[in-house]
Amino acid sequence: MKFGSSAAIVVVALAAGLGGGHDLWPRINASAPPPMAGEEPQPTDAEATAAVRRHKDFFGTYANAEVKLGDCSANHDGPGTVWMTALTMDATKPKAQPVKRPMGFARLNGQWEVSIR
């Protein structure tokens, strides 16, 4: 395979991934102000973990993930709130280390859903 065709494949894959990912996000009314932290119910660690385990993205699922919630703030990109979390990707492994990262959580259709940033 030549360099030119490899570069073209990479560009097409990136464009498809970015465009497809954008279209999969729910449509949000951008004129609505985001809710403030504390004005909306907050998930427990167990509810946040369940939401992450249900989440599917381009790379697959996170069936053995575990989430510990930290600080919370308003989500300026959509509904719900943004939490600083400690995410352990595979909690079944004894030496698994948590990674600190922001995650968005919103209650939709009676259950918590996650937006992994």
Structural domain including 82 reads: 34-116
From the list 71, 75, 85, 81, the residue with the least C-alpha distance to 112 is 81
pLDDT band of 27, cuts 50, 70, 90: very low
Antiparallel, parallel or unpaired: β 111-116 and 99-108: antiparallel
Tens digits of residue pLDDT in 75-99: 887 788 899 999 999 999 989 999 9
- Residue 43 resides in a domain: yes
- Residue 64 resides in a domain: yes
| CB count in 10 Å sphere of residue 10 | 10
Number of compact structural domains in the chain: 1
Non-local CB neighbours of 73 within 8 Å, separated by 6+ positions:
37, 81, 82
